Amino acid sequence: MGLNLLPNIITLLRVVLIIPFAYYTWHQDYTSAVIIFLIAGVSDGLDGLLAKRFNWQTRFGSITDPLADKVLLFVALLLLVMKGHISWTLFWISTSRDILIVGGATSYHYLVGPYEMRPSLISKWNTALLILLVLLVLVHLGWFSLPEMFLDGLEFAVILTCIISGLHYIWLGISHYRGQAASSQGEDVKSERQEKERVAEKG
């Protein structure tokens, strides 16, 4: 086994960690859940660092790594919502945004054409705030109490950035579509003009 597979192995271990994390969170052993969540976070940074530092990037890793992060975060959010520690409002807004982005990108790809959608700055902030919220709620439940007002404010910030980032992605998709349509129309006009010039030359 080559060392170049190490980032992928770390990513797979993070996927496996979702099982005990879900178990401990469901059974309200938040101390263990915090530790596993922190280990998963460290592993996320480690596999990315190794892949970039030694040029060990693979297509498997590029797909599995963000997917593992998404699944872990989704499971954490869902369980904390079900236990009443985070609001259903945040869960549904966050989930709806992800469905909108994935569904919109997929529809655009098949109906219009390829479009590489990169995470926007506001989207990165939203993800960072959501991870921070989950971590602090787990810390609040498992290690030491944090001010409820602070956690409520952080949850509001997550909801706000979630809505803004969703609207921003919609705007980016519409803008890209209009740009492609204008470019295509320009090419059609150019081709038509060139065709007329060729006909005129032959005449």
- Total structural domains within the chain: 2
Query: Count of CB atoms within 10 A of residue 85's CB?
Result: 17
Of 83, 104, 137, the residue at which a domain comes to its end is 83
Let me know whether 45 and 111 are in one domain.
no
Pick from 80, 77, 163, 79: nearest CA to 125:
163
Walking along the chain (203 residues) 10 residues at a time, the average pLDDT comes out as 78 93 96 96 86 80 84 94 96 91 76 69 91 96 95 97 92 76 57 59 59
Query: Count of CB atoms within 10 A of residue 37's CB?
Result: 24
Let me know whether 145 and 58 are in one domain.
no
pLDDT over 70 percentage in the chain? 82
Of 23, 49, 83, the residue at which a domain comes to its end is 83
Domain that holds residue 150: 85-203
